[in-house]
Structure 1
Amino acid sequence: MPFSVKCIDCGHAAPFTPGSINCPRCNSQWREADYDFETAAKSLLSQISVRPFDLWRYRELLPVRNPNPTLSLGEGGTPLIRAVNLGMMLGNPNIYIKDERQGPTGSFKDRQAAVTIAALKEAGITEMVAASTGNVAIAYSAYAARAGIKLWAFVTSLVPAVKMREIALYGSQVVKVTASYDQAKQLAAEFARQRGLYLDTGARTITSIEAMKTIAFEISEQITAAIGPTTHGTPTRWRAPDWYIQAISGGMGPLGVYKGFRELRQMGLVDRIPALAPIQAEGCAPMVNAWKKGLEKAEPVTTPRTRIETLATGDPGRSYTLLRNQVLETNGDFESVTDEEAFRAMHVLAKMEGISAEPAAGVAFAGLFKLIRAGRIKADDVVVINCTGHTMPAEQAVLGDNWSRNVILPPKEETKPEDGLLAALTSVAPDRFQRVAIVDDSPESRRLIRRILQSQGDFHISEADNGQAGLTLIQKELPDLVILDLMMPDMDGFAVLDALKSNADTAQIPVIVASAKELTPEEKTRLEGQIQALMQKGDFLNDEFLQEVRSLLR
């Protein structure tokens, strides 16, 4: 499919060659691929149904003239997973996770490497240079090895040694730079200039932005399959979400995703571009800082203070200005979160959805929590969060010190085998679990509360699915804590409370009410003195809920 490269500053169009970065007319380094969208749409829609669900499904809109299937490692086509438990916890049933962990090397950077290496191979380029905080160097290393292209990977000394070894394993030349990531990029650029080598220039690299837009294409197809096409306004074949959230360092991901949705809208396949929400680590957040000050240009962060090294771009340059304009256009928002908030979000995601994500993805999910709490994301909005990569191995800073229990078995000759096992098991499970009774007629709510409790340790949990059964359970087992729903048929939570308080054996058992209903002033008055806490379903995170539980069980 014919295409050209258009300068975003002067509008000059020229043929695409990977090694040519600057505009031949004005010398700008900011250019983008431009296509005949009418022709591309006809070709794409006529053939897409018989193509595999992978990145090359959208070949008409990629800057590779003849994609070579022998270079592929199975990139793209990653799952879109509905976050059922997370959605219930946050009060939003339409939260979806774009699971980029499923790429060949475990991150969304596989798309960038796949398209760029394919274009370099097609152009006969045999050697390249890239600066990286880890993931992109790993992705480039894998694809460069497959294509027979030599890679020089400039990485900062903050990159974990296990990632450096993986880069080297593919045969790449690893250059460890004891300096900031921005300085490593400068060194890589000078090395490439002196040797006349191709240099990956991040968001200015045409193939990188084009690769990232395939995320938007896939999301639109997958959201449509999950909840149907757009029903309001002008009907379209596919659907765009209301929000797209991603953690950023230099901003390449959202820049590419925006372009993807823009092109889908140009072709009449979607009716909108989602609100963009780029999220940064608070210790290195030049874009967020500039956004909150109303600046058009970012003020560089010279000394990043974050343990999430993959997000440590201190000087985003023009990427911020471009992304700022797109966030303004889509009525989106920038937000920052602390490392601790990101690590906590990783725990929530793993324990609620079974998804182990990298700290950078934890930043995105912590940003989601903030945006929902601030009221920016509404309860019925369709939200997609990019889970950008996998946390393998799990970082010590995330797990902390008390993530395991140690069991030491005595030598066999010292005791009977069963005695040794019983002694060992007491260190795994204390003699007396704290007992919690859950009384709720909704199986989904009971499951959510049970999972939150189980994620944090040693509780003996009993459940009842109606008020009468709950009262009987509580009177029989005398638990240490009751978690009670109010709105149940027949015997509601208010009646259960009255019965508990009228019985000397149960009157002192603490009660947390977890209600999906917004209570009236009269109902709140009725609860005064009867319960220890009132928590609104969909308006609390699991750590807040657990903090309340533990305070009552001390």
Structure 2
Amino acid sequence: MENNKYFFVCCTCGEKIAGFGPWFAHQQQCPACGSKWVDVRYQNDPAGIQQLIADKNTRVESFFHYFDYLPLINRNNIITSGEGAIPVERWAFLEEFAQHYFGTNLTVLVYRNDLNGGTGTFKDVAAAMAASVLKEHGIREYCVASTGNIATAFAFYLAKAGISLSVFIPEDALKSNEAGVSCFGQRVYRIKGDYALAKKICAEFSKKYNIPMSGGNIDPARVEAKKTQVFEWLRQLGYIPDVYIQSLAGGTGPIAIDKALNDIRHLGLFTKDPRYILVQPSGCNPMTVAWEKAKATAYPDGWTQDFPIFNSPQTRIPTLANGNPQTYPILAPLVHKTNGEFITFDENLHVEVSRLVAYETGIKAGPAAAIAVGGFFQSLQQGLLQNGERVMINLGEGTDRAPDLLEEMIYTTIETDNVANCSPFHRETLRSKLYKPFLP
């Protein structure tokens, strides 16, 4: 297949690679140095992105609105369910909370990935891009290791493309995620161990049967898909937020945002990069632990390579259970240069966060999304948000694949067998109880 549209440049040695064809032929690694991290470059003038952002007449139906700046040659290979065409909302209740309790004036924005077509998560754009690329290159079987959400998204989109998928999930993965893979006729291997073991066995499976494996958080298909969120912010808002908050397992999101900003930096569409506040649950927070150690020792030589490994982490948020943070050496410099933070949020409060969000907005935030919103409250407590800042929260998922959380969100039920025990009530009386866990 002739490719005059894009190419890869190895981030380690600078080797030029002519796209996904030779990338797959070399087992998704640089033929010169073996690195798996590449930057995708395009022959098209990047100024064309500015035209797509400024176009207010075309209805954006998916992230493939930015097809000219995605690593796919033939539009006929697009696999999509409308992912990436999602709104940025403004949540006034969080603004009011920040002003009332912390005296901080903020604009609080939320990127509604729970509304993605497909499986309703932040992973849908990555899976749609991967399915399209695999279809274009005639790959009929694929494998991936996942804590949950990426597995379900890949299962859905690869099934649409007629591609067989083997998924390796850790033993603590949600049953609903397993069902979300199996129901599409894709293979599930529930590994008797943690996510690190699931990745190891998936890699061995890939090598044994010569079946391509997802490249993880730096996979070029994933990064290129997720970079389009930046274009959507500029299209919908006209600016880049001052602060970006996301719950964190591996961190493709920040990597992709940085990639997009670097691609369009010369166009003058924004004045500064956002500060990254990356939030980990208290049951699995190796990057936060590494970051706090680095700060306490004034970032000594080699600090980005110094991180703990949590074997079989015990967390209530299985989709964020990544105890071996291999992307920390990439993310840490990014957070450092933007004066950002890695922080921990008490995962035992994630149900309270989801209850509050549902009460105020009617939106059912999933477990990882609750950690992100919890990170907003934690950021206020730690004094990380400043007057006048525009804060973007990535709402990465809903509750569709977290039925247990939905049950935990029950808090207004009274059991009775007699009308004498029933009385009118005022919904407003619940408000103070819902906010109490987050007060200073």
Which bracket does the TM-score occupy, shorter chain normalised? 0.7 to 0.9
Matched to 1:34, the amino acid is: R
Between the aligned partners of 1:286 and 1:309, the Cα distance in structure 2 is 14
Q: Residues 546 and 113 (structure 1 numbering): CA distance in 2 closer, same or farther, change over 3 Å?
A: closer
Give the Cα separation in 1 of the matches to 2:163 and 2:438. 52
Question: How far is the alpha carbon of 1:316 from its aligned partner?
Answer: 1.4
Matching residue's letter, 2:339: N
2:96 aligned with 1:83:
no
1:43-100 deviations in Å (ceiling 9; x for gaps): 6616962543220111222111223376211111111110011211122441011010
The answer to whether the 8 Å contact 1:217/1:261 transfers is no
Residues 1:391 and 1:43: Cα distance change in structure 2 (over 3 Å): closer
Q: Which moved more, 1:301-310 or 1:51-60?
A: 51-60
Q: How far apart are 1:404 and its partner, in Å? A: 2.2
Identity rate, percent: 30
Once the two structures are superposed, residues 353-373 of structure 1 have per-residue CA deviations (whole angstroms, 9 ceiling, x without a partner) of: 222111111111111111122
- Secondary structure of 1:244 counterpart: strand
The question of 1:177 aligning with 2:191 is answered yes
CA distance in 2, matches of 1:218, 1:11: 30
Specify which of 82, 91, 94 is matched with residue 107 of structure 2. Answer: 94
Does the alignment pair 1:29 with 2:5? no
8 Å CA contact 1:48–1:57 kept in 2: the answer is no
2:221 counterpart (200, 207, 224): 207
Describe the superposition over 1:261-298 as per-residue Cα deviations: whole angstroms up to 9, x where unpaired: 23232333222211111111121111111111113122
Residue 199 of structure 1 aligns to a residue whose secondary structure is coil
Q: 1:43 to 1:394 in 2, by over 3 A?
A: closer
Closer, same or farther: CA 166–42 of 1 in aligned 2, 3 Å = closer
Structure 2 contact 354–409 (Cα < 8 Å) conserved: no
Q: What SS does the aligned partner of 1:68 have?
A: helix
Aligned to 1:404: 413
Equivalence for 2:297: none
Contact 1:246 1:277 in 2 (8 A): yes
- One-letter amino acid of the structure 2 residue matched with residue 383 of structure 1: V
- Which residue of the partner structure matches residue 525 of structure 1? none
Aligned to 1:336: 344
- Per-residue CA deviation, residues 455-492 of structure 1 (Å, 9 max, x unaligned), is 478xxxxxxxxxxxxxxxxxxxxxxxxxxxxxxxxxxx
Q: 1:128 aligns with which of 136, 142, 161?
A: 142
* Structure with greater Cα Rg: 1
Name the structure 2 match of 1:277: 277
2:8 to 5, 9, 12: 5
Displacement of 1:305 after TM fit? Answer: 2.1
Distance in structure 2 (CA, Å) of the matches to 1:76 and 1:116: 14
RMSD: 2.4
Tell me, yes or no, if the aligned pair for 1:86 and 1:349 is still in contact at 8 Å: no
Aligned to 1:367: 375
**1:346-361 residue pairs with structure 2 within 5 A?**
346-361=354-369
| Distance verdict in 2 for CA 1:153–1:135, change over 3 Å | same
Aligned counterparts of 2:193 and 2:438: Cα–Cα separation in 1: 42
What is the TM-score normalised by the length of structure 1?
0.71
Equivalents in 2 of 1:78, 1:93: separation in Å?
22
**Is residue 373–residue 393 contact of structure 2 (8 Å, CA) maintained in 1?**
yes
Partners of 1:308 and 1:360 within 8 A in 2: yes
Partner of 1:311: 320
Q: Give, in whole Å, the separation in 2 of the partners of 1:13 and 1:111.
A: 26
Give secondary structure in 2 for the equivalent of 1:284. Answer: coil
Pairing of 1:168-317 with structure 2 (within 5 A): 168-224=182-238, 239-294=239-294, 295-297=303-305, 298-317=307-326
Q: Does 1:429 align with 2:423?
A: yes
Q: Deviations over 1:236-275 (max 9, x none)?
A: xxx1100111001011122112212232323332222111
Q: Which runs of 4+ in 1 moved over 4 A?
A: 400-403, 544-547
Question: Using a 3 Å threshold, how does the CA distance of structure 1 residues 161 and 10 change in structure 2: closer, same or farther?
Answer: same
Task: Report the 3-state secondary structure (helix = DSSP H, G, I; strand = E; otherwise coil) of the residue aligned with 2:89.
Answer: strand
**Does residue 149 in structure 1 map to residue 163 in structure 2?**
yes
| Aligned equivalents of 2:415, 2:144: Cα separation in 1 | 43
Gaps in structure 2 of 5+ consecutive residues: 100-104, 295-302
Cα distance between partner residues in 2 of 1:190 and 1:281: 29
Structure-2 change in CA distance of 1:293 and 1:351 (3 Å) = same
Does 1:165 find its partner at 2:173? no
**Displacement of 1:406 after TM fit?**
2.5
Quick one: distance in 2 between partners of 1:272 and 1:374? 23
CA contact (8 A) 1:115 1:211 kept: yes
CA deviation after TM superposition for structure 1 residue 400, in Å: 6.6
1:546–1:75 Cα change, 3 Å: closer
Structure with larger RCO (C-alpha < 8 A, sep 6+): 2
Pairs within 5 Å for 1:477-516: none
Gaps of at least 5 residues in structure 1 are 225-238, 409-422, 436-449, 458-540, 548-554
How far apart in 2 are the matches of 1:377 and 1:9? 35
